[in-house]
């Protein structure tokens, strides 16, 4: 049963790379947040892990309102086939790394280290693939969620969880600002 | 009453008030400038943890604020860093209206300063990483004011600071909970590597500087100068705090070697890329990197006054970068093209003077601290001294080249009216730079007494 959230995390991380429609991405992100909270509850009291669900729902809500308000175009910087292949390769590597406690976190469960590896790897892949504020922020959130699964085992303090939750909400607000208030980058000028 | 709580309330109130006044031209800048100066002086000089009387009222200000089970503590070292940050804010807000950095500059600038002050005072220090990340978010909003084009360069700042946050959080746990010291060599190496990753991002060590030149091409130079100085100086203060709090780190030769290597690398990289630039904005960014490299050499110089010199260099960098930012922002209408100096002579001259000060040219504010370092460096650091001299000479050559381009007859995009208020701001900043360069004794004792740990 404890492997169910790992499968969910892997599926959602994969989906965030493949799916292009912003509305669907936010839905997938919300499921990812629930899965991360489930995994965190293996090490934390459920009421503490619930902080992650609440933060995740607020973050997803802010991003959903942003998408509804701006109707951003689906960003596709690489072909879908390329993204599928890249995601499979990175996922395979992450599963390989996740077999061992590579972060050397004491008393961490195998499921947690596997999920952390998958999310961090797929988050980095998203950061490498996409340019739009919304997708970059979703990539950052995925990366951070992976880190937090492992970090909540070693630092279960509520104050840290609350501050990290504020980082998620802050990232969503930055994405919202850049999408709604600032003008998005043109296709020719988006890169460095 | 707690002093950190008082500062927090003041900053929150000011941010809300200036947000309400953001459509006014000068008022939010004036309010924020004066308030930041007062807060900075309060942080530096207010009597803490002792009873005193104000207008007949007995008062006692505590240096610690307990919030959510954590402490925000204004001890002597933190007071210097926080006071410095607010004085930076005072300078940039006071002259900021002349550079037109956007309506959100003042409120988001205040929020960023408040978050960085939180990062420098929070205990345990691992919380600092999260405050730095939140401050980076505010800085993205400063760099991209409403209506501007959002670009990946500014988002890269967020990506890098998220990575730094994760590295520092993990290091904090190893240091505070696991109790890593030099007697646990394997864990000590992990701490050094993770901490190194965090600090190379906070100190803009190449290649983790890449958001800076990208942003320089597109954002208001004054906003970029403000963001660069508050983020980099906070990183520098945090590094010094780490080295002071964990004595084994300062004694570890690997840390010393890493700081020295980073310093040398920054000076070389910054200088070589600066002299090959065809963009004036990127040129200044690379000169800034070389200047930060010299500060790192000062920290690692094994001099008793090394830290003091590094803090002094950070202080004058505020003037130099502010000068460049203001001049470059007012030059923007010329397109930084050939003949720009004939269209906007004062702004161009001041922009160039800012870069000269960053490079440590004699008679500018950046010179005295560099000279102090150069004359005190031990024999073993002769390579570092030669590198500093080479950097200053090479950048000076590049500045002369830029001056020739700007002041030769050419076709800049438009005529620029140098109005009285911007002219006044430029003149005041340039005078301060020259004054501190010609009479360093006016500032050096104050920096040594108040800002050095």
| Whether B155 and A170 lie within 8 Å, measured CB to CB | no
Chain B, window 203-222: residues with a beta carbon less than 8 angstroms from a chain A beta carbon: 210, 214
pLDDT for residue A73? 67
Q: A158 contacts in B (CB within 8 Å)?
A: 68
3-state helix, strand, coil in chain A (%, to 5): 75, 0, 25
Calculate the alpha carbon distances from A109 to A5, A36, A115 in Å.
13, 14, 10
Is B427 within 8 Å of B356 (Cβ atoms)?
no
Tell me whether the omega of the peptide bond preceding residue B124 falls within 30 degrees of 0, making it cis: yes
Nearest to B172 by CA among A157, A6, A179, A134: A157
Would you state the pLDDT for residue A183? Answer: 65
Of residues B446 and B226, more confidently modeled: B226
State the best of A135, A141, A163, A190 to mutate against chain B, taking most chain B CBs within 10 Å.
Answer: A163
Give the closest residue to B210 by CA, choosing from B286, B261, B145, B295.
B286
Domain ranges in chain B are 252-453
Q: How far apart (Å, rounded) are the C-alpha atoms in residues B395 and B267?
A: 11
Cross-chain Cβ contact B148/A182 below 8 Å: yes
Q: Is any Cβ of chain A less than 8 angstroms from the Cβ of B6?
A: no
* SS3 per residue for A18-48: HCCCHHHHHHHHHHHHHHHHHHHCCCCCHHH
pLDDT band at residue A185 using 50, 70 and 90 as cut-offs:
low
Three-state DSSP string of B265-300: HHHHHHHHHHHCCCCHHHHHHHHHHHHHHHHHHHHC
Residues on chain A bordering chain B, Cβ-to-Cβ distance under 8 angstroms: 103-104, 127, 131, 133, 136-137, 140, 143-144, 147, 151, 154-155, 157-160, 162-164, 166-167, 170-171, 173-174, 177-179, 181-186, 189-192
Smallest CA-to-CA distance from A151 within A167, A164, A168 is with: A164
pLDDT for residue B417: 64
Asked if residues B364 and B316 have their Cβ atoms less than 8 Å apart, the reply is no
Least confident of A65-69, B67-71, B357-361: B67-71
Contacts of B22 (CB under 8 A, 6+ apart): B28, B103, B104, B106, B107
Contacts of B232 (CB under 8 A, 6+ apart): B202, B203, B204, B292, B314
In this prediction, residue A1 carries a pLDDT of 66
CA distance A62 to A176: 7
pLDDT exceeds 60 at position A163: yes
The pLDDT of B152-168, averaged and rounded, is: 89
DSSP string, B200-264: HHHTT-TTTTTHHHHHHTTS-HHHHHHHHHHHHHHHHHHHHHHHHH-HHHHH-HHHHHHHHHHHH
Mean pLDDT of A116-140: 93
The number of helices, as runs of H, and strands, as runs of E, in chain A is 7, 0
Distance CA A134, CA A138 (A): 6
Q: Long-range contacts for B109-112 (Cβ within 8 Å, ≥24 apart)?
A: B109/B32, B109/B138, B109/B142, B109/B226, B110/B11, B110/B14, B110/B15, B110/B18, B110/B32, B110/B36, B111/B11, B111/B15, B111/B138, B112/B138, B112/B139, B112/B142, B112/B227, B112/B230
Its pTM stands at 0.92
Q: Does residue B229 register a pLDDT over 80? A: yes
- Tell me, yes or no, if B411 comes closer than 8 A to chain A by beta carbon: no
What are the strands, taking DSSP E only, across B34-149?
51-54, 57-60, 64-67, 70-73, 122-123
Averaged pLDDT, A11-15: 94
Question: Which residue, among B151, B187, B210, would best test binding to A if mutated, counting the most A CBs under 10 Å from its CB?
Answer: B151
Q: How far are the Cα atoms of B139, B146, B424 from residue B24, in angstroms, in the given order? A: 22, 15, 20
- Round the CA-based radius of gyration of chain A to a whole number and report it: 16
CB contact under 8 Å between B166 and A181, yes or no, is: no
Measuring CA to CA, how many Å separate A17 from each of A9, A112, B156, B244?
13, 21, 19, 44
- Coil, helix or strand at residue B48: strand
Structure tokens at B225: 């100068």
B419 phi-psi bin (left φ>0, alpha ψ -120 to 50, beta other): beta
**Cα gap A144→B164, rounded to integer Å:** 12
The number of residues in chain A equals 192
Interface of B with A in 115-144 (CB under 8 A): 126-127, 130, 133-134, 137, 140-141, 144
Distance CA B408, CA B419 (A): 23
Measuring CA to CA, which residue among B371, B109, B78, B367 is closest to residue B229?
B109
Top mean-pLDDT range of A177-186, B119-128, B320-329, B332-341: B320-329
Closest residue by Cα to residue B73 from B84, B61, B85? B61
Residues 6+ apart with CB under 8 A from A89: none
> What token pair was written down for A35?
């899965």
Asked whether A125 and A90 are in contact (CB, 8 A), the reply is yes
pLDDT (mean) for B215-243: 91
- What's the mean pLDDT when you consider all of chain B? 88
Whole-number pLDDT of residue B255: 87
B272, pLDDT greater than 90: yes
For chain A, what percent of residues have pLDDT higher than 90?
52
| C-alpha A165: how far from chain center | 13
Q: Give contacts of A160 with chain B, Cβ < 8 Å.
A: 127, 130
* Over residues B56-68, mean pLDDT: 84
Res. A190: pLDDT tops 60 = no
Distance (Å) from the alpha carbon of B400 to chain A's nearest alpha carbon: 29
Domain boundary assignment for chain A: 4-180
Q: List the structure tokens of A51.
A: 């902080």
pLDDT of residue A188: 40
- Segment B351-365 shows an average pLDDT of 94
Helix axis angle, B420-438 to B76-96, nearest 10° = 140
Instruction: Answer yes or no: do B146 and A173 touch at CB < 8 A.
Output: no
CA dist B113 and B318 (Å) reads: 14
Q: Kindly state the greatest CA–CA separation across chain A.
A: 49
B407-422: pLDDT as tens digits = 887 665 556 666 777 8
Q: How far apart are the C-alpha atoms of B375 and B31, rounded to whole Å? A: 42
B112 at interface of A, judged by CB pairs closer than 8 A: no
Nearest residue in chain B measured CA to CA from A192:
B214
| Nearest-angstrom CA–CA distance, A101 and A111 | 10
* Least confident stretch, A57-61, A97-101, B301-305, B438-442: B301-305
Q: Which of B123, B158, B171, B178 to mutate to test the interface with A (most CBs of A within 10 A)?
A: B158
Give pLDDT, residue A184. Answer: 59
What pLDDT score does B282 carry? 94
């Amino acid at each position: 049963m404890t492997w169910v959230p790992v499968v969910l995390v892997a599926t959602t991380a994969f989906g965030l790379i493949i799916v292009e429609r912003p509305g669907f991405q936010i839905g997938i992100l919300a499921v990812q947040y629930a899965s991360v909270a489930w995994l965190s509850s293996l090490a934390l009291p459920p009421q503490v892990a619930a902080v992650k669900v609440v933060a995740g729902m607020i973050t997803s809500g802010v991003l959903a309102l942003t998408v509804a308000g701006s109707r951003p175009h689906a960003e596709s910087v690489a072909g879908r086939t390329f993204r599928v292949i890249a995601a499979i390769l990175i996922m395979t590597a992450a599963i390989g790394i996740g077999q061992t406690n590579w972060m050397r976190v004491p008393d961490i469960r195998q499921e947690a280290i596997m999920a952390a590896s998958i999310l961090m790897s797929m988050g980095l892949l998203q950061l490498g693939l996409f340019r739009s504020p919304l997708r970059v922020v979703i990539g950052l959130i995925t990366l951070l969620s992976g880190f937090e699964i492992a970090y909540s085992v070693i630092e279960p303090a509520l104050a840290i969880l609350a501050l990290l939750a504020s980082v998620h909400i802050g990232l969503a607000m930055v994405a919202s600002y850049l999408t709604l208030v600032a003008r998005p980058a043109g296709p020719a000028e988006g890169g460095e | 009453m707690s002093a950190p709580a008082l500062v927090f309330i003041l900053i929150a109130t000011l941010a809300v008030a200036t947000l309400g006044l953001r459509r006014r031209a000068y008022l939010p800048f004036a309010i924020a400038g004066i308030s930041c100066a007062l807060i900075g002086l309060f942080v530096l000089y207010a009597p803490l943890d002792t009873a005193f009387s104000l207008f007949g009222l007995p008062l006692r200000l505590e240096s610690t604020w307990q919030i959510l089970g954590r402490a925000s503590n204004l001890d002597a070292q933190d007071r210097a860093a926080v006071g410095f940050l607010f004085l930076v804010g005072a300078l940039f807000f006071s002259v900021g209206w002349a550079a037109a950095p956007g309506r959100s500059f003042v409120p988001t600038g205040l929020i960023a300063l408040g978050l960085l002050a939180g990062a420098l005072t929070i205990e345990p220090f691992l919380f600092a990483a999260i405050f730095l990340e939140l401050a980076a978010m505010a800085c993205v909003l400063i760099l991209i004011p409403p209506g501007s084009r959002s670009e990946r360069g500014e988002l890269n700042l967020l990506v890098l600071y998220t990575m730094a946050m994760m590295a520092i959080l993990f290091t904090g746990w190893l240091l505070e909970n696991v109790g890593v010291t030099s007697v646990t060599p394997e864990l000590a190496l992990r701490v050094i590597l993770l901490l190194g990753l965090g600090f190379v991002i906070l100190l803009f060590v190449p290649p983790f500087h890449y958001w800076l030149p990208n942003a320089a091409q597109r954002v208001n130079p004054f906003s970029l100068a403000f963001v660069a100085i508050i983020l980099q100086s906070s990183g520098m203060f945090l590094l010094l705090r780490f080295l002071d709090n964990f004595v084994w780190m300062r004694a570890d030769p690997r840390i010393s070697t890493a700081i020295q290597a980073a310093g040398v690398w920054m000076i070389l990289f910054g200088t070589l890329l600066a002299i090959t630039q065809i963009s004036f904005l990127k040129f200044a960014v690379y000169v800034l990197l070389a200047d930060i490299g010299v500060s790192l050499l000062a920290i690692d110089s094994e001099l008793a006054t090394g830290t003091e010199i590094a803090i002094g260099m950070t202080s004058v960098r505020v003037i130099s970068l502010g000068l460049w930012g203001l001049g470059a922002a007012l030059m923007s209408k010329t397109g930084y093209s050939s003949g720009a100096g004939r269209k906007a002579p004062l702004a161009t001259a001041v922009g160039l003077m800012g870069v000269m000060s960053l490079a440590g040219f004699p008679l500018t504010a950046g010179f005295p601290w560099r000279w102090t370092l150069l004359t005190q460096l031990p024999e073993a650091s002769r390579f570092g001294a030669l590198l500093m001299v080479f950097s200053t000479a090479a950048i000076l050559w590049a500045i002369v080249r830029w001056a020739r381009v700007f002041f030769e007859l050419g076709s800049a995009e438009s005529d620029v009216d140098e109005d009285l208020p911007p002219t006044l701001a430029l003149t005041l900043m340039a005078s301060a730079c020259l004054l501190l360069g010609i009479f360093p004794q006016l500032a050096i004792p104050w920096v040594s007494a108040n800002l050095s740990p």
